[in-house]
Amino acid sequence: MEIKQYIALIWHWAWLIILGALLAGATAFFVNRQTTPVYSASSRLLIDEAPGTNSGNEYSQVLMEQRLALTYVELMTTRPILEKTVETLGLPFNSGVLAGMIAVSAPQDTQIINVSVQDTDPERAAAIANTLGDVFIAENQARESLRYAEPIQNWETRIKELGDELETLEVQIKELEGAETAV
C-alpha cells in the first residue's frame, strides 16, 4: 500500500474517529458536570513551650514538643473537640460526619500540626480548619487552667491565713508595746 491509499483509508473513516472523539468529550463533560467539586482547606498549628516550662535543655524541650504534637493530633479528633467545632460554626451535620471530613497529622520530627478539611463548600472548609484549631487551643487552655486551679486556690488560702496571723501578731505587738509604756 502506498501513502495515498493510507490517506484515503483514514479520510474514509475520519467521520468515525471524529464521532468517537466527540462522544468521549461529551461523556466527560456530562460526568464532570454531575460530579460535585470537593475543596480542601488546611491550617497549621505550632506547638511551642508554655511559659515557665523551659527545662534549660533545648534538645529535650524540642523532643517534648514533638511528642506533645503527636498527643495533640489524637486529642484534636476526639468527640468533644469535634462537637464544640460543630456547635461553634452551627454546622448542619454531627461530629461523626465532621470526623470523616478532616485529617490531622504531625509531620515527623516537627512541632507542627497540620489540619486538613475537605468539603463541597470552600468557605466552610476554611472555617472548619481554622475553628478546629481555635477550639482545640481554647479547650487545651481550659484544661491547663483546671490543672493549676486547685494548687493556686490552696496557695491563696494559705496566703490569706498568713495575712490573718500577721494581723493578729501586729495587734498583740501593739498591745504589748502599750502595756510596756503603761508600766
Please indicate, yes or no, whether residues 20 and 49 belong to a single structural domain of this protein.
no
| pLDDT band per the 50, 70, 90 thresholds, residue 176 | confident
- Between the alpha carbon of residue 176 and those of residues 124, 147, 164, 173, the distances in Å are 74, 45, 18, 5
Please indicate, yes or no, whether residues 4 and 94 belong to a single structural domain of this protein.
no
Q: Which of 71-80, 99-108, 109-118, 140-149 has the lowest mean pLDDT?
A: 140-149
Per residue in 37-90, pLDDT tens?
889 999 999 887 655 555 567 777 778 888 888 889 999 999 999 999 999 999
Give the mean pLDDT of the chain. Answer: 87
As a whole number of angstroms, the distance between CA 175 and CA 40 comes to 77
Please indicate, yes or no, whether residues 54 and 30 belong to a single structural domain of this protein.
no
Query: Which amino acid does the sequence have at 47?
Result: I
Cell numbers linked to 150: 486547685
From the list 105, 111, 112, the residue with the least C-alpha distance to 62 is 111
Assess if residue 51 is contained within a domain.
yes
pLDDT computed for residue 174 by the predictor: 86
Assess if residue 60 is contained within a domain.
yes
Please indicate, yes or no, whether residues 75 and 140 belong to a single structural domain of this protein.
yes
Please indicate, yes or no, whether residues 64 and 21 belong to a single structural domain of this protein.
no
pLDDT computed for residue 55 by the predictor: 57
Q: Which residue has the higher pLDDT, 35 or 57?
A: 35
Residues 103-107, mean pLDDT to the nearest whole number: 92
Please indicate, yes or no, whether residues 110 and 132 belong to a single structural domain of this protein.
yes
Indicate if the pLDDT at residue 135 is higher than 90: yes
Assess if residue 121 is contained within a domain.
yes
pLDDT computed for residue 35 by the predictor: 83
Q: Which domain holds residue 21?
A: 1-35
Please indicate, yes or no, whether residues 21 and 52 belong to a single structural domain of this protein.
no
pLDDT computed for residue 53 by the predictor: 56
pLDDT exceeding 90 applies to what percent of the chain? 44
Domain count, the chain: 2
Q: Model-level pTM?
A: 0.64
Assess if residue 86 is contained within a domain.
yes
Assess if residue 126 is contained within a domain.
yes
Please indicate, yes or no, whether residues 80 and 116 belong to a single structural domain of this protein.
yes
pLDDT computed for residue 54 by the predictor: 57
As a whole number of angstroms, the distance between CA 40 and CA 125 comes to 6
pLDDT computed for residue 52 by the predictor: 54
Assess if residue 118 is contained within a domain.
yes
Assess if residue 171 is contained within a domain.
no
Please indicate, yes or no, whether residues 25 and 86 belong to a single structural domain of this protein.
no
